[in-house]
Amino acid sequence: MPAPSLDDLRRYAVARTLFKPTTLPGAIKKLGFVQADPIRAPARAQDLTLRHRVNDYRAGDLERRYTRLAIEEDCLVNYGFLPREHLALMHPREAAKPWDAETRRKAAEVLAFVRERGRVHPREVEQHFAHGRMRNYWGGSGNASTHLLDGMHYRGLLRVVRRDSGTRIYEAVEHAPADESPAGRARRAAALIELIVRKYAPLPAGSLTYLVRLLGYGAPHLAAQTQAALRLAREELASLRIDGTTWYWPADENPASRRHAPDDAVRLLAPFDPVVWDRRRFELLWGWTYKFEAYTPAPQRQFGYYALPLLWHDRVIGWANVSAPEGRPQPAFGYVEGRKPHGAAFRAALDDELGRMAEFLAAR
């Protein structure tokens, strides 16, 4: 087997995650995890990610079909959607910062209330308990009941049963006891690392380390085990050093395979799409720095509020900010080389992508 080149890794990075479109549950299972984001520009990140991988996908399908699928809103390296089977790797979850006695008392009262009601809206909890306001993570003021429900969901006391106009509706849940033996904890940690490698490979060494650190969000109680599993993974994964960077990928995959040849499509990707999520890898593979600037002050933005990376063949050649008045995509493009590629092939492929975007945004 020939050693992969950087070009091979680039084609492999695109082809392995932009698989042939399938069903919604099939795509989520194959991805292992879909990162969520509430911004709609022109749709939420989870919808923008799934539209390339699910047949006839429309914006909002994930939320509409959520109650009928074996998936959960939960945490892994960040917040999103994942197959229900993966929850056993992280739950019962032990938060890094324990609650004080007063918070534990309030949580017990709310849990009893939820069990009695069956399913609750945060507004019902606030009306019943009047927890008041509290300072939130960004320095502003937030609803204390909502914050408590978030914490209960994170700790595995509640699950999101559905959303009403974007608001989480909760019900009580109990997770099966985990195997807390040293071997059991080690197996779960190894499975979590396999999950993130399967999703984000090929990975530069620094990105692999960073992702394992981010597992402290989904499985903070397995921190020691994930570090030990990382050391073992470095020995068992396939790897290669190119231009001073060590790359890792699953040992049963071949980045140099001819089946990773790129297609002719143009794709507008979500900022958190697995093709472009890893900014370190992005710069190594495509030679420029892409930034997500939704929370950057407007005068300081280089790419725009919600720039969607523009992929053509196996190259990310620019970006677009897309508005969609009445569901009609209106993109504003930027190109790394300063101008749109010449030729009818690119123009036709871009028109096809904008047509797919319009269909995606159209109401069912």
Can you list the domains of the chain with their CATH numbers? 101-172 (1.10.10), 260-361 (no CATH)
Biggest CA-to-CA distance, the chain: 67
pLDDT of residue 139: 55
Residue 141's DSSP bridge partners are 135
Average pLDDT, integer, range 174-198:
96
341 by DSSP, 3-state: which? coil
Average pLDDT, stretch 78-102?
96
Distance of CA 159 to the CA centre of its chain: 18
Q: How far is CA 335 from CA 11, 246, 341, in A?
A: 20, 29, 9
Q: Percentage of the chain with pLDDT > 70?
A: 97
Cα distance between residue 158 and residue 175, in whole Å: 10
Q: What is the pLDDT of residues 41-56, one digit of tens each?
A: 999 999 999 999 999 9
What predicted TM-score, i.e. pTM, was given to this entire model?
0.94
